[in-house]
Structure 1
Amino acid sequence: MTAGAAPRTSPRASVRTPQEVDPLGALAARPITVAAGATAVLVASVGTVLRASDVSTSWAAWTALVTVVAAAIVLVVAADPLRAPFGPRGAWCVAAGCAVASVLSAVATSGSNPFVRDDWAGAVSGVLLLGLAPYRPAREIALVGAVVAFVIAIVVVAESPGFVTPVPTATYVVVAVTPLLALGAASAVFSAVYVGHVERWMTRAIGFRRVSTDDLGVTLARSVQQDRVTVLNREVVPFFARLIAAGRVAEGDADEARRVAEALRASLVADADATWLTRRLDAPGRRVPTEVVDPDRAADRLGPEHRTALWAFFSAVDDPAVVDVRSLRLVLVGQEARVDITIELAVASSATVARRSLSPYLTVLRLVSGDLRVDRSTSLLTLRFSYDQH
């Protein structure tokens, strides 16, 4: 990319979400989401207090505040990593809360609202829309903002006869919806640009991976050859060296030769039947052994993103202080178009604590699979999910 070039958003940037293309980035944005919810509640509360003299219907003012609090809670809860992905239902619930709060705020000051510039509905709605930026696509954020702005515009038109400043009604509407449209546009642009940048980076990474495929193949071939040489050095060479040193074939050498041949054959067959996952899990240095049940070699049919998510999870649980080393078990079953995966692990403390500590990895698994189910008992955590075969 040329230095200083303006970033261009991909056509798909308005469809995909930042949470889909970068789950861990969305996880890191959670404090910002919580801050957006808290700021919205604070702005609404301070605005209501400062306009206390204009409030003619107290129940409507209190209900408007409660609605803002509810919308903020929906935003924060829907952004919980253990509930990922943040779906469109959560975004539209936040939008509904903003719209209802706008109407109730107008009802609270009906007949006694001389200015529109001190109404908090537009600013509060815009702040809540900012909280959607890491989780929803740009097109949806823009649509949500437009719907809420339309509701606020209708409310302002209905209130306009009571305003004291003699200006066109359109001016009141512009003043009321500008904070919402500005913050909503910022949220949508962030979502689109972020997704575009990540997708371009992924495209370049895939290109580099394809270029290095030939070199990787040579490296793997050398690794396999080295493994087989190791087997020969461990089993065959000592046997023949002993025969040469003795200078004759003893009575038990035939049985020994048969044992060496069977051991060599078993090693080569196991190496041929091993999937990428079993090779990784059997690698030296792993502290938590894992039982893998994969009769159909379904692990080899997983795509790169699925392999990365799965391996990241196993790297996270490779700690005897967290996981019972006798209980980690993985079962893969190939279906027509999907690979069903079940992971069972007993935890050293409680399943709830383990679930919380593993939340970043569970979020990634949930996002790349779309159907992660987590069952927990007192000390056992069971994950069930599936992937498309590639």
Structure 2
Amino acid sequence: MTLAAPPRPGGRASGRSPQQVDPLGALAARPITLGAALAAWLVAVVDTLLRASDVSSPWAAAGALVAVAAGGVVLVVSAAPLRAPFGSAALWGVAGACAAAGVLSALATAGSNPFVRDDWAGIASGVLLLGVAPYRSARGILAAGGAVAVVLAVVVLVEAPGFVTPVPTASYVVVALTPLLALTVAAATFSNVFVAHVEGWVSRASGFRRASTDDLRVTLARSVQQDRVTVLNREVVPFFARLVASGRIGEEDADEARRVADSLRASLVADADATWLARRLAAPGRRVPTEVVDPDRLADRLGPEHRTALWALFAAVDDVEVVEARSLRVVLEAEEARVDIAIDLAFGSSAAAARRSLAPCLTVLRLVSGDLRVDRAPSHLTLRFSYDQH
């Protein structure tokens, strides 16, 4: 599922993140996130053990390893589906942990670090920032990587007098920062290229959709006409056939005519007043009993992103292989310029298990709404979010 706006002129990606333009794609990147966190910590541990003879402060060395582990935990936890989106606070939390690890690593080998080339802070920091690539924009990743690079550069300048290789001080800085900068640029490039490709695809798809609008109108008109014919065949045609067969009109026929007219009018009015959401949830074949409370027809003001996210959720709820849902109730209420939506779901199993099964759908809803709240009872989930009226 992709949720994106058309790209800016010139084919350049906007400031959005891969997680924003393709939430489900970001879910698929979770193994990469776990691998990045683990790889960064292993690099730090292995390099610390190999340089054990250079460690002058075991406590600082241990603190550096804890800082790297903390950065990995922040990365993995913040990238969890039910915590989406991956915010700037999480990005800077990872960057802060990387900077702290670099400072503590330098303190751990203060006075006994003859070479800069075997320092691990730049590599570990770059790997952690590489794990952020599916969740943040290129600009954010570059800013975080640049901040960490400044801290590590200062550390190297402080350590420079103790290095034994007779080269200019700038060379020490270049050697120390190259792994970090290379991995940061790689992460930012991935984010930028991914967003540009998705936004370009959405732009082309929108063009094809506009080109087929006329054909769609004809199809919809035929569908509406067929629905009206179905109503007539079910109510009106049998009544007139019976009149023709009897050859006369009695008082009971007049009463029947009024009943048929009232039924036909009620059916047509109800169909005209129903929103797209009510029609879709009342379609034949749906398994879960559903109630839609929308007297002001607010569902018709939903944008395409919200409609797609909502329908993905309702399709999952109706799938017995995903969750064991018992009932669904949707309430839409206007609140000034916004619309509040409350979705009540009852399950035959525990709500915790249902929440885990619906995690991809909830992630998409959280990303498109920005204020999704999930209340959980033993066998009941209540989802609440809002959106601007269009």
Which interval holds the TM-score relative to the shorter structure?
over 0.9
Output one character per residue of 1:281-337: Cα deviation in whole Å (capped at 9) or x when no partner.
111221112100000000100111111111111000003576666531000112332
Residue of structure 2 equivalent to 1:275: 275
Report the more deviating stretch, 252-261 or 69-78: 252-261
Contact kept, 8 Å, 1:133 with 1:190, in 2: the verdict is: yes
Contact kept, 8 Å, 1:288 with 1:320, in 2: the verdict is: no
SS in 2 for 1:129: helix
Residue of structure 2 equivalent to 1:104: 104
Aligned-partner Cα distance in 2 for 1:327–1:224: 29
- Between the two proteins, what is the percent identity of the paired residues? 74
Aligned-partner Cα distance in 2 for 1:21–1:261: 50
Aligned-partner Cα distance in 2 for 1:365–1:72: 26
Structure 2: which amino acid aligns with 1:69? Answer: A
Aligned-partner Cα distance in 2 for 1:97–1:320: 43
Instruction: After TM superposition, give the deviation of residue 344 of structure 1 in Å.
Output: 0.2
* Shift in CA distance, 374/173, structure 1 to aligned 2, threshold 3 Å: same
1:85-124 aligned within 5 A: 85-124=85-124
* Shift in CA distance, 9/173, structure 1 to aligned 2, threshold 3 Å: farther
Q: 2:288 matched to 1:288?
A: yes
SS in 2 for 1:252: helix
SS in 1 for 2:251: coil
Residue of structure 2 equivalent to 1:4: none
* Shift in CA distance, 322/178, structure 1 to aligned 2, threshold 3 Å: closer
Aligned-partner Cα distance in 2 for 1:289–1:133: 41
1:232-251 aligned within 5 A: 232-251=232-251
Report the more deviating stretch, 324-333 or 342-351: 324-333
* Shift in CA distance, 364/153, structure 1 to aligned 2, threshold 3 Å: same
1:70-89 aligned within 5 A: 70-89=70-89
SS in 1 for 2:386: strand
1:1-390 aligned within 5 A: 13=13, 15-319=15-319, 327-390=327-390
Output one character per residue of 1:166-225: Cα deviation in whole Å (capped at 9) or x when no partner.
111111110000000000000001001111111111111111111111111111111111
Instruction: After TM superposition, give the deviation of residue 280 of structure 1 in Å.
Output: 0.9
SS in 2 for 1:92: helix
SS in 2 for 1:115: coil
Aligned-partner Cα distance in 1 for 2:327–2:304: 27
Aligned-partner Cα distance in 1 for 2:29–2:164: 43
Q: What are structure 1's unaligned runs of at least 5 residues?
A: 1-7
* Shift in CA distance, 91/81, structure 1 to aligned 2, threshold 3 Å: same
Instruction: After TM superposition, give the deviation of residue 12 of structure 1 in Å.
Output: 6.4
Report the more deviating stretch, 332-341 or 318-327: 318-327
Instruction: After TM superposition, give the deviation of residue 389 of structure 1 in Å.
Output: 1.7
Aligned-partner Cα distance in 1 for 2:324–2:347: 6
Contact kept, 8 Å, 1:13 with 1:137, in 2: the verdict is: no
Instruction: After TM superposition, give the deviation of residue 385 of structure 1 in Å.
Output: 0.5
Aligned-partner Cα distance in 2 for 1:336–1:11: 37
Contact kept, 8 Å, 2:312 with 2:361, in 1: the verdict is: yes
Aligned-partner Cα distance in 2 for 1:300–1:144: 41
Q: How many residues align?
A: 384
Instruction: After TM superposition, give the deviation of residue 266 of structure 1 in Å.
Output: 0.6
Instruction: After TM superposition, give the deviation of residue 250 of structure 1 in Å.
Output: 2.8
Query: What TM-score do you get using the length of structure 2 for normalisation?
Result: 0.96
Contact kept, 8 Å, 2:317 with 2:325, in 1: the verdict is: no
Report the more deviating stretch, 276-285 or 99-108: 276-285
Aligned-partner Cα distance in 1 for 2:251–2:272: 33
Query: What TM-score do you get using the length of structure 1 for normalisation?
Result: 0.96
Instruction: After TM superposition, give the deviation of residue 252 of structure 1 in Å.
Output: 1.4
Instruction: After TM superposition, give the deviation of residue 338 of structure 1 in Å.
Output: 1.6
Displacement over 6 Å in runs of 4+: 8-12
